[in-house]
Structure 1
Amino acid sequence: MMRIVLAHVLVTMVMGEGCCPYDAWEGTLGLVTGTEQGGQSHLTLGALNLHVNSAKKIIVSEGEMDVDGYGFQLKAIQDYMKGTEYDIVNGKCTTKSIGPWKSRCIPDDAQIVQNTYIGAGSEKVAVKTYLYMEDGLQVYSTVTARDCVPIMSVQSGVTSKGVSTVTASEFSGITKGVKDPSIFNIPAICNPKNPLARYLDALRKRRSVDP
């Protein structure tokens, strides 16, 4: 069993220069999000393959999600050039508008709260943990010291809509570049003018009314 060893901790916060990960990369993401508002709480779990191309401002997430016990397969394409997110769930595509692209970089005004390493011996990797604010939420983000590759992050606080939230994310298997760029292509099913999309939509509607 691999053990994670943490050492050489720098407790005092210091201002640090930010850093940026690879322009294009992919890997796996595990996340847990809890939210609460007005006495209503929700729990979201995710195990996703993540593909990022910062130059083209597009992110694809695909894998398993679970929201309050309801599990489903998701493929989400966030195309910031078009300002549109395409969500494909159970064979049906929905779209919604998204805001401007957000930098994947650690900001220059982030505070370094920890210099340490993970692993042991010849395989240990130097990492840094930063603290900064993003959209009014507090973020602790741990990245590799050399290439700013994301390892884990915790984001918490209250959103502008009054929702209390905390998200813990863990990244693994990160590699530079995207092996199959076609992963960013918008599926035909997301184009309502496409004959296949019209056929599948009609088939779903027919099945929903059949006894």
Structure 2
Amino acid sequence: MILRCSLTFVCLVAGLRDVISQHGCCGPQQWTGVAIQKRGRYDHNLDVASLADLNTRIGYDYVNRKISLQQKIYNITVDTQESVHVIYDFKQRTVYSITNGNYCIANTISGEMWPNCIPDSATHLGTFNISGPTVNIYRMVTPGGATVRFSVSYGECNPSTESVLTSGPVYDLTVSVYENVTKGISDPSVFKVPTFCHHKETKTKHISSTITELLQNTFISRRR
């Protein structure tokens, strides 16, 4: 069995104005961080389950309309490892997926990049203290049907924790912790596209309010 990895995690980004209240906030327009995740999948039709560890370095640049996701994926079930670097260039309407540093697919994308804000569809569940840091916790259902529960730091609105559940017939549950979230882009080279990337004229429409859903759609289409 091959894990059809649909890496899921939310960076809490969607279209919403900056609201100075418990109902929403906006983070920095440029930030970097690391998402540490545990992900389980169950395919009801095939009656197959799998488990994976994921580590993703995130570069989010709303100023230049780019997102970089450098992922290391360890499939615990079949003991395999894979690295994938996904670069979204919303100005050029292109997403590049580079696998293991030597294989690249470029696809056309539609839609605009969303600012780094809490979606107005999210429900505020309260403000809590998590062993020191104070966070706001929200719950939402994404346009693709995933149920997300996430927390952001009080004041800065940086991502802290999250859980994401997608419904069948393929069920995914991902639990994430964000680390080393800092303002700005320290290494702009993460957005550099390799020269061996080619362009495949495939229209891929995504309507997403979260990086979680964006990545999920990307990897499902890549593995088919």
Name the counterpart of 1:116: 128
- 1:95 and 2:95 matched: no
Name the counterpart of 1:151: 160
1:173 paired residue among 180, 196, 214: 180
1:85-138 CA-partner distances (Å, limit 9, x unpaired): 22222222223444533554212242222311234xxxx321111111112111
CA, structure 1 residues 182+157, in 2 after alignment: closer, same or farther (shift >3 Å)?
Answer: closer
- 1:83 and 2:89 matched: no
- After superposition, where does 1:6-155 map in structure 2 within 5 Å? 16-37=22-43, 38=45, 39-67=47-75, 68=77, 69-90=79-100, 91-98=102-109, 100=111, 101-119=113-131, 124-134=132-142, 135-155=144-164
Name the counterpart of 2:190: 183
Task: Check whether the contact 1:75–1:88 (CA below 8 A) recurs between aligned residues.
Answer: yes
Task: Check whether the contact 1:50–1:61 (CA below 8 A) recurs between aligned residues.
Answer: yes
Task: Check whether the contact 2:22–2:136 (CA below 8 A) recurs between aligned residues.
Answer: no
Aligned-residue identity in percent: 24
Task: Check whether the contact 2:32–2:183 (CA below 8 A) recurs between aligned residues.
Answer: yes
CA, structure 1 residues 104+157, in 2 after alignment: closer, same or farther (shift >3 Å)?
Answer: same
Q: Give the secondary-structure state (helix, strand or coil) at the position aligned to 1:170.
A: strand
Q: Match for 2:66: what amino acid?
A: I
Task: Check whether the contact 1:46–1:64 (CA below 8 A) recurs between aligned residues.
Answer: yes
Consecutive unaligned residues of structure 1, counting only runs of 5 or more, are 1-14, 193-211
Shift of 1:141: 0.7
Whole-angstrom CA distance in 2 between matches of 1:144 and 1:98: 31
Whole-angstrom CA distance in 2 between matches of 1:157 and 1:72: 23
**Root mean square deviation, CA, Å:** 2.3
Whole-angstrom CA distance in 2 between matches of 1:176 and 1:102: 17
Task: Check whether the contact 2:39–2:172 (CA below 8 A) recurs between aligned residues.
Answer: yes
Whole-angstrom CA distance in 1 between matches of 2:97 and 2:122: 32
Task: Check whether the contact 2:164–2:173 (CA below 8 A) recurs between aligned residues.
Answer: yes
CA, structure 1 residues 98+35, in 2 after alignment: closer, same or farther (shift >3 Å)?
Answer: farther
- Matched residues, number: 172
Whole-angstrom CA distance in 2 between matches of 1:86 and 1:109: 29
Q: Match for 2:89: what amino acid?
A: D
Runs of 4+ in structure 1 displaced over 6 angstroms? none
Task: Check whether the contact 2:60–2:66 (CA below 8 A) recurs between aligned residues.
Answer: yes
1:7-66 CA-partner distances (Å, limit 9, x unpaired): xxxxxxxx9422222111001111222222212333332112111112333211224212
Task: Check whether the contact 1:18–1:109 (CA below 8 A) recurs between aligned residues.
Answer: no
Q: Which has the higher contact order (CA 8 A, sep 6+)?
A: 2
CA, structure 1 residues 52+166, in 2 after alignment: closer, same or farther (shift >3 Å)?
Answer: same
